[in-house]
């Protein structure tokens, strides 16, 4: 597997080691060391919480620069539906899609269209009797990673279908190769992403083979380019393919509403997702057959690499939804056409990064020591040691990555003890100088 890639990274120069981020991280992946935040790579799920919370904007997501499109002869853009919420509602969807062509793409294929294909496949899956319910959507890669890391017993509940992005890339590449007679390797497919998690899901697919996406560009990075091109559009081309059901995926609840069932639960925001996954793990959810869990508050419209405020974006998306609704469509007519093609090929693996040792006996000893250390710590979870909680510090100590004196209270205790010892020593005179009354 080699080194573990994830998109969210630190800008060393901007980071002041303020510890604001360490407590917000849902997997306790951040530590502050030598006044700089460090991300424990294999724990990071790329949720982007730390990007949002950092007051110095020192957390960034690695994505591809726009220039990457020039490395391919035929350039195809696949915009996430959340892109539509970034611009003023006076610009129609076709207007935005045409602007994408102006900035340098030969063709556009909406991820929202692929979302409809995934919805269709999911509807079929729901009807099968041998699937583990509640099914949990695999659309948000941060949530999938969270499950792999923290809720491995729920892996079998994950919908084993490719994400709309991956489906869009695959379909676009195949269709264009055939209709335009272009060699697939000459076709570059570029995803416009609202988040870091999607970048990682392309760059590090591990067990699922390589991606059909050739580059991932953040909404932030192309925003100005698109904005200035919106004014340059002369002839608005008819490029829309998706109906409102596909576009609605940008909203929390959008994926669920396409499933023709009432028995769904839509949750957004990674900390809320955790609460719900706990409930599922405790077998506490009744009458829920499908769970749509999105890492970002408000769904992908609230993605960390978007530009517009999530609530403003929501209002704007509503206009696009209404327009698509007015146009009709969405009768699920191509239910058969796409069947079976988009199953995830590999397994979603359990990534037990919380494990203290591969050997159970050793892990038990470490855990026992961890508990003992934890008991001695003040329990204030102040974060001054650079760990998100006292228990996390205890864990770091057991793993050999920290010392007890990293705790300022422990350090003070030690200093006080030393001071007492020094006083005692100081009071002792060498016998030759001792003028004591004797």
Partner 1 sequence: MGLSNVLKLHFDIPANDFVSAGEASSSVKKTLSQLGIAPQVIKKSAIAMYEAEINAVIHANGGTADIEIDQDKVIIKIQDEGPGIPDLDLAMQEGFSTAPDTVRQMGFGAGMGLPNMKRYADELKINTEVGRGTTVIIRVNFA
- Which residues form the interface with ligand SF4 (CB under 6 A)? 8, 24-27, 29-30, 39, 44-50, 140, 142, 194-195, 197-198, 294-296, 299-300, 303
In terms of phi and psi (left: phi > 0; alpha: psi -120 to 50; beta: otherwise), the region of 47 is alpha
Beta carbons of 259 and 126 less than 8 angstroms apart = yes
- Least spacing, CB of residue 372 vs partner 1, in Å: 8
- Least spacing, CB of residue 288 vs partner 1, in Å: 13
Name the H helices within 93-240: 93-102, 111-127, 141-150, 164-179, 196-203, 219-230
- Report what 349 binds from partner 1, ligand SF4, none; CB cut-off 5-8 Å by kind: none
- Least spacing, CB of residue 367 vs partner 1, in Å: 6
Q: Which is nearer to ligand SF4, 278 or 335 (CB)?
A: 278
- Least spacing, CB of residue 30 vs ligand SF4, in Å: 5
Q: Which is nearer to ligand SF4, 50 or 313 (CB)?
A: 50
Q: Which is nearer to ligand SF4, 74 or 290 (CB)?
A: 290
Beta carbons of 387 and 31 less than 8 angstroms apart = yes
Q: Judging by beta carbons within 10 Å of its beta carbon (0-12, 13-18, 19+), is residue 244 exposed, middle or buried?
A: buried
- Least spacing, CB of residue 359 vs partner 1, in Å: 9
- Report what 88 binds from partner 1, ligand SF4, none; CB cut-off 5-8 Å by kind: none
Q: Which is nearer to ligand SF4, 46 or 64 (CB)?
A: 46
Q: Which is nearer to ligand SF4, 197 or 266 (CB)?
A: 197
* Residues 58, 14: Cα–Cα separation, whole Å: 5
Q: How many CB atoms within 10 Å of residue 79?
A: 28
Binding site for partner 1 (CB under 8 A): 150, 152-153, 155, 278, 281-284, 286, 350, 352, 354-358, 360-361, 363-365, 367-372, 395
Q: Which is nearer to ligand SF4, 274 or 324 (CB)?
A: 274
Q: How many CB atoms within 10 Å of residue 173?
A: 23
């Amino acid at each position: 597997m080699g080194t573990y890639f994830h998109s969210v990274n630190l800008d060393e120069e901007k980071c002041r080691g303020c510890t604001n981020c360490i407590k917000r991280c849902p997997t306790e992946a951040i530590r502050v060391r030598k006044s700089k935040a460090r991300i424990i790579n294999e724990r990071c799920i790329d949720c982007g919480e730390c990007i949002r919370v950092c007051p110095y904007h020192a957390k960034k997501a690695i994505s591809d620069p726009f220039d990457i499109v020039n490395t391919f002869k035929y350039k195809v853009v696949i915009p996430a539906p959340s892109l539509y919420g970034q611009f003023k509602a006076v610009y129609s969807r076709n207007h935005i899609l045409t602007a994408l062509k102006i900035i340098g793409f030969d063709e556009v294929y909406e991820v929202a269209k692929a979302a409809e294909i995934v919805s269709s496949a999911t509807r079929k899956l729901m009807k099968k009797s041998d699937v583990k319910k509640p099914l949990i959507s695999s659309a948000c890669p941060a949530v999938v990673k969270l499950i792999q890391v923290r809720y491995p017993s729920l892996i079998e509940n994950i919908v084993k279908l490719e994400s709309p992005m991956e489906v869009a890339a695959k379909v676009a590449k195949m269709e264009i190769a055939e209709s335009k007679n272009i060699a697939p390797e000459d076709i570059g497919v570029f995803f416009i992403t609202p988040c870091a998690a999607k970048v990682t899901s392309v760059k590090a697919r591990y067990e699922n083979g390589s991606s059909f996406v050739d580059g991932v560009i953040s909404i932030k990075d192309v925003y100005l380019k698109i904005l200035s091109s919106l004014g340059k559009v002369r002839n608005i081309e008819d490029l829309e393919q998706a109906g409102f059901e596909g576009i609605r995926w940008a909203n929390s609840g959008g994926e669920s509403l396409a499933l023709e069932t009432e028995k769904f639960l839509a949750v957004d925001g990674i900390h809320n997702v955790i609460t719900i996954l706990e409930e599922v793990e405790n077998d506490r959810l009744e009458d829920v057959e499908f769970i749509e869990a999105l890492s970002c508050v408000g769904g992908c419209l609230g993605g960390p690499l978007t530009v517009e405020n999530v609530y403003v974006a929501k209002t704007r998306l509503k206009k696009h939804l209404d327009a698509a609704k007015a146009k009709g469509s969405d009768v699920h007519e191509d239910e058969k056409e796409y069947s079976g093609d988009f199953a995830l090929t590999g397994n979603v693996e359990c990534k037990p990064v919380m494990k203290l040792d591969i050997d159970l006996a050793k892990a038990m000893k470490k855990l026992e020591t961890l508990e003992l250390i934890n008991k001695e710590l003040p329990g204030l979870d102040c974060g001054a040691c650079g760990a998100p909680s006292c228990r996390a510090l205890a864990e770091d100590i057991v793993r050999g990555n920290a010392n007890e004196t990293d705790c300022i209270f422990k350090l003070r205790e030690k200093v006080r003890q030393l001071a007492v010892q020094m006083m005692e020593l100081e009071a002792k005179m060498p016998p030759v100088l001792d003028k004591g009354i004797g």
